[in-house]
Amino acid sequence: MGVFPTPFESMPRLQAELGGPKLYVKRDDLTGVALGGNKVRQLDYILVEAKKMKSDYVITTCGVQSNWSRQTVALATKMGMKSLLVLRTAQFKTKPKVYDGNILLDHIMGADVRVIKMKISEDPTPILEEEAEKLRRKGHNPLVLGPSTSISPVATAAYADGFREIAEQASAAGVALDAIFVAAGAGPTQAGLILGAKMIGMKTKIVGINVGAYSTKRVTEVILSSSEGAAKLLGTRARVERSDVTISDDYAGKDYGIPTNESNDALRLAARTDALIIDPVYTAKTMAGMVDMIRNGEFGGDQNVCFLHTGGVPALFAYKQYFQPKRSSRNVRGR
């Protein structure tokens, strides 16, 4: 149901600003459904199960500003199913009094939204199962997409195919990619990219920037286990080894969903050079990492580097307080 292939574009003004390698962006924020994002590519694979089960409801979970939840609701809606979301407050201290960003779009698309006070790292699976049982008693046939769904081999397989798409577009543009930067949240997107590169014999380095949702140790284990399962699903002999996994912890900041000065600066820089609008939770921290590594000389002018834009822009509006114009300390009056 997504729109593929998504664009592969150069970023000449950001490249000139940084004075480093040739820069490109893979626009998986433009996957075509309800403002897009990388989850659409994965859900195209995952929701095949809903068709098999003839489900009329999808139940899922994430944070209140969840891209996963928005894209799940969107694809479920297009398939004629209803959605129930159990959203965790995550990085926010209280439940939202006013809907904004992703949760506003969830509501507009007709999702039944329940918000619980819980960290993003905590597991609400018992609550999902309780809600599913309530729906079954009413005669519905719900499909539960719990926390493990988004890190499944199926989600990883989707991005093995995504890497092939990037490689074909880069080749058509005469570009040999040395590195791809991606947000390391739970891990399956990076896992799929690494597996995809190994499947077609490319040496492209996949650089994950940890955004603070989980420890790098946990993300690495997810990458290894989900890529193993994906390789079996895809019938390939290629395997992801621990030495293939590159994740930086240097740009996560205090916690998941809490911007840093560097990520806010990177968000503005991308917008003011190549009009690339990114989100404050995932892609801004990833951009901050890429910018810093380039400025530190880790990538040279003869190299080609791609930034994977995984979407999430609706969340920007829930963080608007970070991006207001500065007010003058003086009250200027006309004469």
Q: For the chain, which domains are there?
A: 8-38+151-323 (3.40.50.1100), 43-150 (3.40.50.1100)
- The strand ranges marked E within 168-245 are 179-184, 205-210
pLDDT at 334 over 60: no
pLDDT tens profile 280-316: 999 999 999 999 999 999 999 999 999 999 999 999 9
Residue 118: φ, ψ to 5°: -160, 145
Q: Quick one: CA torsion of 172, 175, 177, 183, rounded to 10 degrees?
A: -70
pTM above 0.85, yes or no: yes
**Ramachandran assignment for 246, one of left (phi > 0), alpha (psi -120 to 50 degrees), beta (any other):** beta
Of the candidates 70, 64, 96, 95, which has an alpha carbon nearest to the alpha carbon of residue 83?
70
Tell me if 131 sits within 8 A of 114, measured CB to CB. Answer: yes
Residue 14: partners with Cβ closer than 8 Å, 6 or more residues away: 23, 269, 270, 273, 274, 276
Task: Calculate what percentage of the chain has a pLDDT beyond 70.
Answer: 98
Query: Does 66 qualify as catalytic in the annotation?
Result: yes
CA 282 to chain centre: 6
Residue position matching structure tokens 């503005």: 268
Residue 235: is it exposed, middle or buried by C-beta count within 10 angstroms (0-12/13-18/19+)?
exposed
- Measured CA to CA, the distance from residue 94 to residue 88 in angstroms comes to 10
Active-site entry in 55, 66, 83, 150: 66
Q: Give the per-residue pLDDT at 1.
A: 87
| Structural tokens at position 266 | 């990177």
* Per-residue pLDDT band at 330 (split at 50, 70, 90): low
- Measured CA to CA, the distance from residue 70 to residue 310 in angstroms comes to 13
pLDDT tens profile 210-244: 999 999 999 999 999 999 999 999 999 999 999 99
